[in-house]
A and B are shown apart, each in its own frame.
Chain A
Amino acid sequence: MSQQPQTISINDLDISQLADIKKQLEEELNHLTSSFAQLKQAQAKFKSCIDNITEVKPQNKDKVILVPLTNSLYVPGKLSDVDNVIVDIGTGYFVKKTRPQAIKYYKGKVDYIKTNLNALEETIGKKRENLNYLVSALQSKLQNQPETTKS
């Protein structure tokens, strides 16, 4: 959307217009990088889910664990079912899955996020390039005509 006017007519724009575009690009870039960080976080969460599932193994059956009731209140409990876990699949639905199934589910999630991350990374790179190009154009403009454009 914003690529064409930049590449075609960047030299025809005056300084205030360039500054506007720069601001817009910076905002977009900020938004994208924060999305990137959020995705990373989500990915880490799913990864830790996988780690947790691997801990629910048959060797740990009947071992005492602490079950969190709230963030700061725990009660002791025993691990009775080591074969199944209940997975949150979103919008209030949960599915009881066997451990391999659950691991597969989370792996799928991690991969899904990974493809998104890659796509996002590429977009961020492109935006950054655009921004750099724009900034250099803006600077050369400022150097070439410092007197005439003072408003």
Chain B
Amino acid sequence: MSLAIRLQSASSDFQKLQASMAETVDVRQKLEAQLSENELVKKELANVTPENIVYKQIGSVLVKQDLTDAKSTVETRLEFIKSEIKRIEVQLKEIEGKQEKKKQEVS
């Protein structure tokens, strides 16, 4: 009887872990997409010549912006996203480890 209860709680724990795993994977995917978008912007800004004017969208208005400002903003964004991805990777590993442990518990 207690075995059945233990099994039940273990499997529900396992399911929770799976759900949080899927969530983190989702977050990671979004970060990945942001990263590649920012990389593309960075590449494009590198090609900008002085006669091209850079604008930044604020709400629904385009505001003129300094090229160096724009470049440094994108750079900090890239740094931030990269560190976020690292954080998420660690989280994923943790969840994976917990999952593995639960799996053994169940079987």
Contacts and interface: CB of A to CB of B under 8 A. Distances in A.
Interface of A: 86, 89-98, 101, 105
Which of B44, B48, B77 has most A Cβ within 10 Å? B44
A93 B70 CA distance: 8
A95 B56 contact: no
Contacts of B53: 95-96
Interface of B: 34, 37-38, 40-41, 44-45, 48, 51-58, 62, 65, 70, 74, 77
Nearest to B53: A96
11 contacts: A89-B40, A91-B38, A91-B77, A92-B58, A93-B44, A93-B45, A93-B56, A93-B74, A94-B57, A95-B53, A96-B55
B52 A93 contact: no
A95 B44 CA distance: 9
A94 B54 contact: yes
Given A96-B52, A101-B52, A91 B37 contact: yes
Contacts of B37: 90-91
Contact of B41 (A91, A96, A101): A91
A74 to B, nearest CB: 17
Given A94-B56, A96-B52, A101-B52, A86 B62 contact: yes
A97 B52 contact: yes
B44 A105 contact: yes
Nearest to B34: A91
B54 A95 contact: yes
Given A86-B55, A89-B41, A90-B37, A95 B48 contact: yes
